[in-house]
A and B are shown apart, each in its own frame.
Chain A
Amino acid sequence: MSLSKPPLPSGISFASRFAPHSLPRWSMPEKAMPKEVAYQNIHDELQLDGNPKLNLASFVTTSMEEECNKLIMESINKNYVDMDEYPITTDLHNRCVNMLARLFNAPMEEGECGVGVGTVGSSEAIMLAGLAFKKRWQNMRRAQGKPFDKPNIVTGSNVQVCWEKFARYFEVELKQVTVREGYYVMDPQRAVEMVDENTICVAAILGSTYNGEFEDVKLLNDLLLQKNKQIGWETPIHVDAASGGFIAPFLYEELEWDFRLPLVKSINVSGHKYGLVYAGIGWVLWRTKQDLPQDLVFHINYLGADQPTFTLNFSKGSSQIIAQYYQLIHLGKEGYRNVMENCRENAMVVKEGIVNTGCFNILSKDNGVPVVAFSLKDRSHHDEFKISAMLRRHGWIVPAYPLPPGADHITVLRVVIRADFSRTLAESLVMDITNVLRQLEMLPHQYINDHKATMTNDHNNIEGVKKRITSSEVRRKIIAQEAKRRQKILAA
C-alpha cells in the first residue's frame, strides 16, 4: 500500500502549519514554504507600515496612474545597464536628459543632445556633480602648479544630508553658512565671503528641505561673478533643485536660477519628487561637455556606438526611467503646470487654515515648493513634537524637527503637499490640527510635563517592532545628541 503525503490544506495559508510560527529573522530557514504562504505572511506584516499617501513628511511621489504601473511591471525585469540589449530603454533615458536640459535652459542647439544622466536619486546625482567639480578643480590647480589636496565646498547649513555624505566620503571640506532667525536659507553674501581658492563650487538649493524656500541663485551668481573677476578664480555654482527643479519652470518661469545664469554649471533634480515618479530616480545635468571631465566618464560600446556613462550604480531597474518618460510626454508642460498649480492652491488652503487657528507662525514662503512649515507661537504648554504625535493618532504623519544650526532653537512642523494631496484631504488635515489643539488645551498642563507619556500605536503588538516612545523630553535628548554628532534629520 503506498502512502502519499497529505496535501496542504487547499488555499488557506492561515490554516496551514506555517501560521503558528513566526517568520524567520536571523537565519535563512532550512526548508522552503509554499509561495502563497510566503506572500500572505509578508503582506500581512507590511500592513503595519504607514500608509504612503498619508505620509506628509515626504516629497517623494506616492501614486501614479494605472497605465504607468503597467509599464513599470512590464519592465521590472530589465536591467538598465544592459544598454546593448535594451536600446530603446536607453533611448528613453537619453530623451529625458534632453528634455530636462532644455527645461533648464542649457545652452544647446536644435537637435543637440544634453549632457546628463539618470541616477537613483538626488544623492547619487549630487555625488556625481560634486565629483565633476572636484576633478575639474584638481586638474586646474595641477596645471597651475598649486596644491590640490584641500578642496572645500560652500553650502548653507540647511542642506540635505547627502551633501554631508558627499563631503565625508569624497574628502571635501564642508563650509556651511549658518542660517539665522527669520532667514532660513543660505545668505548669498555670506556664502561668497566664505569662498576661497580651494572652493570647488558653491551649492545653492532651490527648495530648501526645511521650509521649501528657493535660495536667491541670481544674487549668488552676480556676487560670485564679481568676486571671480576681482581675484581671478573661476568658482562655479551647482544648484540642488531636488524639489524645486520641477516647480520653478512651471510656476515661476521668470525666476532666473538655472543655466541662464553663466556660473551655474550643473543642476540636479529628483524625478521622484515633483517629477511625479515613484522612489528611485534622479537626474543630473551639466551645462556643456566641458563641465564634465572626461576622465570620470566610462565608455561602453553599444550598438556599435559609444555610450558614455558616469554613474555610481551599475545594475539597476529600468522601470523608473520609463515612468519618467511617460510622465514627461503624458503631462507635457501643460500637465505639470496644472499639477503644480493645484499643489500650490492646496498648500494655500492648509496655510490659511493653520493661520486661522491663531496658534502658529508660518515659516514657509508662498513662492517656493508647496510645503507648509509652521511653528507654535507659544511653546510653554506643549511643543510641536506633541502635536506631531497626536496627529499620528489621526493617521497623519506630520514630522517635527528643529531648524538647522543658527536657528535650531526653533522647531517646525512640516506638511508637504504632493500631487495626490487633494483639497478634501487638505481640509481634513486642517480640521484635525484644530481638533488636536483643542484636545491639548483640555489636557492639564501638569500631566504633559510631569509624565513621560508612553504613546504606543497599533504597532506595539507585533514582536520585532519596537514601541514608539514619544515623550518630548526623550525626543529632545535624542535631538540634542543628534545635533552634537552632526546628524541630519530625515528630510527627503
Chain B
Amino acid sequence: MALSPRVREPENREQLCCTFASRYVRDSVPKFTMPEKSIPKDAAYQIINDELMLDGAPRLNLASFVTTWMEPEVDKLIMASLNKNYVDMDEYPVTTELQNRCVNMIAHLFNAPIGEDETAVGVGTVGSSEAIMLAGLAFKRKWQIKRKSEGKPYDKPNIVTGANVQVCWEKFARYFEVELKEVKLSEGCYVMDPKKAVELVDENTICVAAILGSTLTGEFEDVKLLNELLTEKNKETGWDTPIHVDAASGGFIAPFLSPDLVWDFRLPLVKSINVSGHKYGLVYPGVGWVVWRSKDDLPDDLVFHINYLGTDQPTFTLNFSKGSSQIIAQYYQFIRLGFEGYKNIMENCMENARILKEGIERTGRFNILSKDVGVPVVAMSLKDSSQHTVFEISDHLRRFGWIVPAYSMPPDVQHVAVLRVVIREDFSRSLAERLMSDIEKVVQLLDILPSPLPLKAANVSTIANDSDHHHKVKKSEMEIQAEVLEFWKRLVDGRRTGAC
C-alpha cells in the first residue's frame, strides 16, 4: 500500500499572511541599529512605502526647479539602465557615446566655437554643484599656472559673484579655498550689477561668475554688459579675467525663448557654462552638464585619461561610479523633443507664469519681483508686511497641499521676503488657476486672523488700512481667542487633503 507523503504544514505561517496581518507591522521600525534578522521583501516594501506616503507630493512642490514628471517611455529606459554603472565605459560604450552626444548638442546650443562635426569639451555631472566645482577648479588651476609662470604669488585666489548666488558657489569657495567676493544687492536690483562686479576684480580673481536665471527671482544677469566692461578692464590692466556663466536654470530657456539674447560662448570672455539637466533640461534629479569653450580652457593636468575601446576617453568629474539612467533620459529628451519641443514647453511655462502673475497682481496685495524675461518663476512680496508675512502665507498654502517657499533676500536687502512659485513643465493652466484661487483665499483669511507678531498687553492694536478692505475693530483678547478657535474648528472640519 502506497502511502502518499503528508503535506507538511509550512514552517513559518507568517509567510502566508499578508503584511498587515503579520507581526512586521507591530514591531517598531529599525532606526538606529541594523536588525539582526531578515524580513520578507513585501513587508520591507510595505513598511517603507507607507512611511514615504508622508513625504510631500513632488508635483505640488512649487519650490523646486527640478523636474518631477517624465513620459512613461523614459521610465522604461530608466528601469532598464538602473544597473549600469556609468563609469564602466569599457563595458557600456553606447551609454558613454550617448553622453558624448549630449555634450556636443549642448555645446552647439550654446554656440561653442567648434566645427560641425567637432567633439565638444564637456562632461555630464550629477548636478550643477559638481559642474560648478569642476569649472571653478579649471579656472583656479589655469590662474595658478599663469601666475606661477609670471613669478607672482598664487596663494590667494578669489572669485567674484553676486550675493544672489546659489549655495554651491559658497561650497566651492569653502572647500577649494577660494575667497568669495560678493557684489551686494540693492533694493530693486536683485542680481549682480556688472559694473560693481568689475570693480571688485583684482589680480587674484580667477573668474567672474554670472547667473542666467537667479535662484531668487529667475532674472537673467546682463552677461553681455559684464563681458564688455570686463574686456575693457582686461585691456587696461593686462589681466585675463574670464567669465563663467551659471546657467543652471536659464541654459535651457534662453536659447529657446530669447535666441537673440547674447549670453553664451558668443561672448569671447565666457570660457565655461554649466546647466542643470534636471531643471529645464526636463530630466529627473541627478544630471548636470558643464561645457568649456575649447580644449585650452580645461588644464590637462586635471583630466584623467581612461582607455576605452582602444581610444582615449578623458574624464574630469568628482564622482566616479554613478547611475547611467539620467544621462540616457537626457538624450531621450533631446531627440524626442528637439528644438521645437523644448521651445513649445518653455513657451507654455512662460504663459502659465504670466497668467499666475496677473492673477496675483489682481489681488492688489503683492509686488512682483520676477521679470518677464527670465526663468518662468513668479516671485512676489507683500506690499504691507506689518501684520502678516509671506512666511505665514506659505504656511497656510501648505494646508491646501501647495508647497510655496518663502525666503528672505540676501544681505543688504534682507528686509525683503519673497514667496516664489516655480512653473515647471507639468504645471498646467488649471493648476495655475487653482493656485491663484487658493492664494486669494489665504489672503482673505489673513485679513481675519490676528497678527502673530508680538502683541501689546491685553489689546490688539488696529491698523487702519487706507485700502477698501475692512478695518479691524478693537477687541479684547478673550474675544479674539474665541474667534480664532472658531475659525480653526471650521478649517479642520472642511479640510481637504490635496489640491487637485
Residues on B with C-beta less than 8 A from A296 are 174-175
Is the pair B87, A492 in contact by a Cβ cutoff of 8 Å?
yes
Is the pair B32, A77 in contact by a Cβ cutoff of 8 Å?
no
Is the pair A38, B332 in contact by a Cβ cutoff of 8 Å?
yes
Smallest CB–CB gap between B308 and chain A, Å?
8
A121–B319 alpha-carbon span in the complex (Å) = 7
Is the pair B321, A330 in contact by a Cβ cutoff of 8 Å?
no
Which among A33, A88, A171 is the interface contact of B51 at CB below 8 angstroms? A88
Residues on B with C-beta less than 8 A from A57 are 88, 90-91
- A348 contacts B by Cβ under 8 Å: no
Residues on B with C-beta less than 8 A from A124 are 318-319
Is the pair A55, B34 in contact by a Cβ cutoff of 8 Å?
no
- B195 contacts A by Cβ under 8 Å: no
Is the pair B339, A26 in contact by a Cβ cutoff of 8 Å?
no
- B171 contacts A by Cβ under 8 Å: yes
- B448 contacts A by Cβ under 8 Å: no
Is the pair B35, A478 in contact by a Cβ cutoff of 8 Å?
no
Instruction: Known A27-B105, A55-B88; judge A98-B309 contact (CB<8 A).
Output: no
Is the pair A322, B52 in contact by a Cβ cutoff of 8 Å?
yes
- Per-residue B-contact encoding for A76-88, CB less than 8 Å = 1, 0 else: 1111101011111
- B436 contacts A by Cβ under 8 Å: no
Q: Tell me the chain A residues, 41-72 only, with Cβ under 8 Å from chain B.
A: 41-43, 45-46, 48-50, 52-53, 55, 57-58, 60-65, 67-72
Is the pair A71, B341 in contact by a Cβ cutoff of 8 Å?
no
- B89 contacts A by Cβ under 8 Å: yes
- Residue on A with the closest CB to B62? A85
Is the pair A95, B108 in contact by a Cβ cutoff of 8 Å?
no
- B227 contacts A by Cβ under 8 Å: no
Q: Tell me the chain B residues, 33-66 only, with Cβ under 8 Å from chain A.
A: 33-45, 47-49, 51-52, 54-56, 58-59, 61, 63-64, 66
Residues on A with C-beta less than 8 A from B109 are 27-28
- B168 contacts A by Cβ under 8 Å: yes
A82–B310 alpha-carbon span in the complex (Å) = 42
Is the pair B91, A492 in contact by a Cβ cutoff of 8 Å?
no
Is the pair B318, A317 in contact by a Cβ cutoff of 8 Å?
no
Instruction: Known A27-B104, A45-B94; judge A33-B338 contact (CB<8 A).
Output: yes
- Residue on B with the closest CB to A45? B94
- A4 contacts B by Cβ under 8 Å: no
Is the pair A26, B116 in contact by a Cβ cutoff of 8 Å?
yes
Residues on A with C-beta less than 8 A from B64 are 79, 82, 85
Number of B residues with CB within 8 Å of any CB on chain A: 121
Is the pair A46, B95 in contact by a Cβ cutoff of 8 Å?
yes
Is the pair A99, B335 in contact by a Cβ cutoff of 8 Å?
no
- A332 contacts B by Cβ under 8 Å: yes
Q: Tell me the chain B residues, 110-128 only, with Cβ under 8 Å from chain A.
A: 116-117, 126-128
- A5 contacts B by Cβ under 8 Å: no
Instruction: Known A30-B338, A272-B321, A332-B39; judge A49-B92 contact (CB<8 A).
Output: yes
Instruction: Known A28-B108, A58-B91; judge A127-B318 contact (CB<8 A).
Output: yes
Is the pair B338, A334 in contact by a Cβ cutoff of 8 Å?
no
A315–B67 alpha-carbon span in the complex (Å) = 11
Q: Tell me the chain B residues, 367-391 only, with Cβ under 8 Å from chain A.
A: none
Q: Which of A28, A57, A62, A65 has the most CB of B within 10 A?
A: A28
Is the pair A161, B304 in contact by a Cβ cutoff of 8 Å?
yes
Residues on A with C-beta less than 8 A from B71 are 35
Smallest CB–CB gap between B337 and chain A, Å?
5
- Per-residue A-contact encoding for B143-156, CB less than 8 Å = 1, 0 else: 00000000000010
- A7 contacts B by Cβ under 8 Å: no
Is the pair B285, A71 in contact by a Cβ cutoff of 8 Å?
no
Stretch from A174-182, A253-261, A441-449, A467-475 forming part of the interface with B: A467-475
Which among B63, B68, B73, B93 is the interface contact of A36 at CB below 8 angstroms? B73
Q: Tell me the chain B residues, 164-197 only, with Cβ under 8 Å from chain A.
A: 167-168, 170-171, 174-177
Residues on B with C-beta less than 8 A from A317 are 284-286, 323, 326
Residues on B with C-beta less than 8 A from A322 are 48, 52
Residues on B with C-beta less than 8 A from A168 are 301-302
- A32 contacts B by Cβ under 8 Å: yes
Is the pair B91, A50 in contact by a Cβ cutoff of 8 Å?
yes
- A431 contacts B by Cβ under 8 Å: no
A24–B339 alpha-carbon span in the complex (Å) = 12
- A252 contacts B by Cβ under 8 Å: no
- A158 contacts B by Cβ under 8 Å: no
27 contacts between A and B (CB under 8 A): A24-B105, A28-B339, A41-B335, A42-B77, A42-B335, A43-B80, A64-B83, A68-B45, A87-B54, A98-B32, A98-B33, A120-B126, A122-B321, A124-B319, A165-B318, A169-B302, A171-B177, A278-B82, A278-B83, A280-B286, A280-B321, A298-B170, A315-B129, A315-B276, A399-B90, A466-B309, A478-B310
User: In the complex, given contacts A31-B340, A79-B285, A95-B31, what are 4 additional A-B residue pairs having Cβ atoms less than 8 angstroms apart?
Assistant: A32-B340, A64-B83, A86-B55, A165-B320
Q: Which residues of B contact A (CB under 8 A)?
A: 29-45, 47-49, 51-52, 54-56, 58-59, 61, 63-64, 66-71, 73-95, 97-98, 101, 104-105, 108-109, 116-117, 126-130, 133, 137, 155, 167-168, 170-171, 174-177, 276, 278, 284-286, 301-302, 304-311, 318-324, 326, 328, 331-332, 334-342, 403, 405
